[in-house]
Amino acid sequence: MSASPPNDAVPDARDLARELRHVVNQGASASALDPDEVPGLLALACVAGPAQESGIPAQAQLVIVLKHLLEPEKGSNNTTPSSQQPEVRRALALLLGIADTTKGKDSATRRTRAKNYLHDDLMPPGTFNRRHVQPLLELLADELVEYDSKYRMRDTHDRLAEKLPASPALAVLWLDRFQYYYRIWSDLSGLETDLTVYLRVRHDPQTTPSQLETRRRTALWYLARFFLHLDQFIDQRGGLWLLSDEEQAQRVADAVSLLNFHPPCTEQGRSWLSFAALEQPVPAFHRFTRKLDEDDAGTLILARWRAWLEACQCDNQSPDEDCELHIVLRQCGRYLEIIDREWNRIVEWFTGPPGKSVITAEQVAEMNLRWRIPAVATEDELRPST
């Protein structure tokens, strides 16, 4: 049976931290937890949903979630705050009885083990209980809120894909995300096109030096816009790649990270490009290219870019695996493919039967048009006129 759609209410971390005290007192085992003491924890979508789906008690699912957060499997892409601090994670696992060494132990033993792990034998247990337990639980509560929000987003994505009822508020959040994803999509699509055309025409005697230079510069313009839109995604939406599942999200994150690394830009060059692409009032290629010529930093970036393009001596049919330009081309393709596939999975939910959709078919068509901006110059413009 499919669980009902998650609601929009964001759980309160302070309430959850208070309820976690009960888990510390009783130990994290399904049979020990009193549902009346932990109503907020059991009502979390990431607890209630999977429990209903697999027909297990919510308390058991809560223990599974806690274990997942505190003892993630090796290689899993768990980027919660405490995964940045493995010692905090370990202390919480000892405290709650998630760790093998404290599982089934009484509360005093678990508290002492956690205290000794984080501090030392000399700290009195009372001091640890008064000063240190609550901050640890607050950290865990924050993580639960974050984990639950990711769960609800993924669950909504599945519902949209299956055309099941879903929370309109969360569906709108997906639209918002894809708007960011598709700004980057447009940049990478332009970059991919320009690099491909550049490679095809660079040795063609009919291509004039000025045509080739324009192509180099439009490619750089798309790269600059990619840096800009990636920065905006990080500043405004935290930069977390959320997609239908962890694997797709990881593949996109890897592609973006390679696209950040392989073009020949220093940190300063990258931020110069990002700023140049932001040019007000309207971002425009002609302003960008003028800036490249007028500014010393721009001239240097352009010189590096030319050298980087020329370093590719591949045969277009069988490119070298280690060639930087071809790595960039491949990663552009990977990003475009995954984002399109993920968007295409859910787009019909929004355009569903009349009266049921959140947005109209016209709005979706407009978004497709606006997001998937084609490359500025078409291939024909580079072909010599006959």
Which residues are at the interface with Zn ion (CB under 5 A)? Answer: 312, 314, 319, 323, 325-326
Least CB distance to Zn ion at residue 322 (A): 9
Q: In this complex, which beta carbon is closest to Zn ion, that of residue 323 or of residue 347? A: 323
Least CB distance to Zn ion at residue 314 (A): 3
Least CB distance to Zn ion at residue 315 (A): 9
Q: In this complex, which beta carbon is closest to Zn ion, that of residue 142 or of residue 324? A: 324
> What are the structure tokens assigned to 174, written together?
């997906």
> What does the DSSP assignment read for 185-231?
HHHHHHHHHHHHHHHHHTT-TTS-HHHHHHHHHHHHHHHHHHHHHHH
Q: In this complex, which beta carbon is closest to Zn ion, that of residue 116 or of residue 196? A: 196
Least CB distance to Zn ion at residue 301 (A): 20
312-316 long-range contacts (CB < 8 A, ≥24 apart) are 312/199, 314/199, 316/199, 316/200
| Dihedral (CA of 84, 248, 156, 226) sign | positive
Least CB distance to Zn ion at residue 252 (A): 23
**C-beta separation of 312 from 200 below 8 A:** no
Q: How far apart are CA 51 and CA 280, in angstroms?
A: 52
Q: In this complex, which beta carbon is closest to Zn ion, that of residue 283 or of residue 319? A: 319
Q: In this complex, which beta carbon is closest to Zn ion, that of residue 4 or of residue 316? A: 316
Q: In this complex, which beta carbon is closest to Zn ion, that of residue 33 or of residue 312? A: 312
Least CB distance to Zn ion at residue 199 (A): 8
For the chain, report the end-to-end CA distance as a whole number of angstroms.
65
Instruction: Choose among 66, 71, 68, 61: nearest CA to 23.
Output: 66
Query: Which alpha helices (H) appear in the chain, and where do they start and end?
Result: 13-26, 39-43, 45-54, 58-70, 86-96, 107-118, 125-127, 133-162, 168-201, 209-237, 246-261, 267-278, 285-294, 296-311, 324-351, 361-371, 379-382
Q: In this complex, which beta carbon is closest to Zn ion, that of residue 316 or of residue 378? A: 316
Least CB distance to Zn ion at residue 325 (A): 5
Q: In this complex, which beta carbon is closest to Zn ion, that of residue 264 or of residue 319? A: 319
Q: Which residues contact 191 (CB under 8 A, 6 or more apart)?
A: 219, 222, 223, 226, 328, 332
Least CB distance to Zn ion at residue 282 (A): 34
175 class by beta-carbon count within 10 Å (0-12 exposed, 13-18 middle, 19+ buried): middle
Q: How far apart are CA 44 and CA 140, in angstroms?
A: 14
Instruction: Choose among 38, 93, 90: nearest CA to 62.
Output: 38
Least CB distance to Zn ion at residue 378 (A): 23
Q: In this complex, which beta carbon is closest to Zn ion, that of residue 308 or of residue 343? A: 308
309 class by beta-carbon count within 10 Å (0-12 exposed, 13-18 middle, 19+ buried): buried
